């Protein structure tokens, strides 16, 4: 069996958290993906389910994990 070595890293207590600035291109791209999922869910939700799930994986990194276009379409 292999041994696991951990190297402890002391926390940096004095540093302030960096302020997050959202990139408008990223937000627009996420919005476009959400619109694509809505279109797919309205057009043919049963046949487009796998496409909606694929796109949803990319959107979930930015939005809540509980958001799902399939629940809005009544498929979950």
Q: What is the pLDDT of residue 63?
A: 55
Q: What is the pLDDT of residue 15?
A: 66
At which residue do the structure tokens 């994986």 appear? Answer: 57
At which residue do the structure tokens 């046949």 appear? Answer: 47
Q: What is the pLDDT of residue 48?
A: 93
- Mind listing the pLDDT tens digit of every residue in the chain (76 residues)? 677 777 788 777 776 676 767 778 877 888 888 899 999 999 998 999 999 988 888 777 655 545 555 555 555 5
Measured over the CA atoms of residue 48, residue 49, residue 52 and residue 57, the dihedral's sign is negative
């Amino acid at each position: 069996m292999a041994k696991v070595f951990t190297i402890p890293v002391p926390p940096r207590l004095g540093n302030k958290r960096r302020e997050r600035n959202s990139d408008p291109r990223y937000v627009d791209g996420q919005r476009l993906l959400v619109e694509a999922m809505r279109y797919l869910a309205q057009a043919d939700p049963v046949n487009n389910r796998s496409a909606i799930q694929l796109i949803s994986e990319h959107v979930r990194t930015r939005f809540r994990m509980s958001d799902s276009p399939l629940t809005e379409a009544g498929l979950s």
